[in-house]
Amino acid sequence: MKFVDEATIEVIAGKGGNGAASFRREKFIPKGGPDGGDGGRGGSIYAVADRNINTLIDFRYARLHRGKNGENGRGSDQYGAAAPDITLRVPVGTVIHDADTNEQLFDLAHHGMQVTLAAGGQGGMGNLHFKSSVNRAPRQFTYGKEGEQRKLRLELKVLADVGLLGMPNAGKSTLITRISNAKPKIADYPFTTLHPNLGVVRTSPSRSFVVADIPGLIEGASEGAGLGHLFLRHLSRTRVLLHLVDVSSVDPDQDPVQEAANNVRAIAEELRKYDADLYAKPRWLVLNKLDVVSDPQDVQAQLCRELDWQGPVFAISALSGEGTQALIWALQDYLDEEKGREMVEQDKKEGIYMPEDPRFDESRGDLTDAGQ
């Protein structure tokens, strides 16, 4: 299935039915009085996040979604029927913007979340609502209200814990194939990845994390060069970025360390230009293709000195799998710690955080056996 991560749609909710102005007329019942019913509500349009959908391709072709109008009220106290609602199923991680103002309206980050895109119009009131002691035969009624109408832009941000970042042909697709169940296209030329790929890395029966691979970035990506800028949004939800660097060089006249350092700086600058929050995310340096380097330790030391790199550094060969196991376990431990910290913060917001409990270990963010 073709991956589509952005679509523009228009939603038009149904109009409410009109109220009725009617009077009861039956044999032997003079002056029966008003009996006009209310109009039915117009159909509303909702969006619900569904984990079984992974693309917005359906909305690329079905751009207009219109709800039906409610029925008009009738005599004999008969109310008009409400129109059926429309529910649009979207992938988990879909962000909905107003296409005219670019304002973010909803973020469907969890399975089952439902939001109202356009509310149906309320039905009008029949004349039975207007009767009183001084107005025995009201002829007033109200018309149904128009439903809401919006033009919306749907944007999919995939949900992943780890994002792969790097130049084209840095080995991102090879790495995600090595460590997860993802099977992206791999070739020996650049730009093989044309859409994001997700892979689940399972370190034990109860522990796992999700890795996202996006098309490689090139210099000028923040201004629209290449394909990578179109998918940088998919890294916004990740907790850590793995910056893959190809330390091999096919050009014998080019210093591989200097070339790798220039690539790292170029991508970091593209991140900074694209989104300051994305640039501020934890970023680990992963030196790839060390199986074709004569002295991997020397290359790693030179590159760290050249970049003045202070963060985590891993040396791997995605093709052979060398060094990938240590990287996986380091990622799992880091993500477990981050998730534990987020749970503590959430408990604080909900008022169930108990730092005075002697069993609470602040460094671990959980309850220990101490004090039991």
Read off the pLDDT of residues 113-172 as tens digits, 9 standing for 90 and up.
999 999 999 999 998 888 888 888 888 899 999 999 999 999 887 777 888 888 777 777
Closest CA to 19 of 176, 95, 127, 106: 127
Residue found under tokens 């196991």:
325
- Would you state the torsion angle of the CA atoms of residues 3, 321, 305, 242, taken in this order, to the nearest 10 degrees? 30
Residue 106 corresponds to which tokens in the numbers above? Answer: 């909803």
3-state secondary structure of 152: strand
Rounded Cα distance between 234 and 231, Å, is 6
Q: Using pLDDT thresholds of 50, 70 and 90, give the confidence band for residue 369.
A: very low
Give the residue numbers of the binding site for Mg(2+): 173, 193
Question: What percent of the chain shows pLDDT beyond 70?
Answer: 81
For residue 355, pLDDT beyond 60: no
Taking the C-alpha atoms of residue 56 and residue 148, their distance in angstroms, rounded to an integer, is 23
Residue type, 137: A
Q: Judge contact between 147 and 15, C-beta under 8 A.
A: yes
- CA 261, distance to chain mean position in Å, is 32
Q: Which of 78-87, 220-229, 308-317 has the highest mean pLDDT?
A: 78-87
Known binding-site positions for GTP:
166-173, 191-195, 213-216, 288-291, 317-319
Tell me: pLDDT of 315 over 80. yes
Distance CA 358, CA 281 (A): 34
Predicted confidence (pLDDT) per residue in 30-50, tens digit: 777 888 889 999 999 999 998
Is residue 259 within 8 A of residue 249, CB to CB? The reply is yes
- Give the pLDDT band of residue 191 (cuts 50, 70, 90): very low
Instruction: Note the pLDDT of residue 144.
Output: 92
Average pLDDT value over all residues in the chain? 79
Cα–Cα separations (whole angstroms), residue 80 to 64, 113, 176, 217: 26, 30, 57, 57
Q: What is the pLDDT of residue 352?
A: 64
The secondary element (H helix, E strand) that includes residue 269 is: helix 256-274
Backbone angles phi, psi at 326, to 5 degrees: -65, -35
Across the strands, what pairs with 156? 94
Binding site members: 166-173, 191-195, 213-216, 288-291, 317-319
Phi, psi of 89 (to 5 degrees): -95, 125
Does the pLDDT at position 90 exceed 50?
yes
Domains in the chain (CATH in brackets) are 6-156 (2.70.210.12), 162-347 (3.40.50.300)
CA 229 – CA 81 distance, rounded (Å):
49
pTM for the whole thing? 0.64
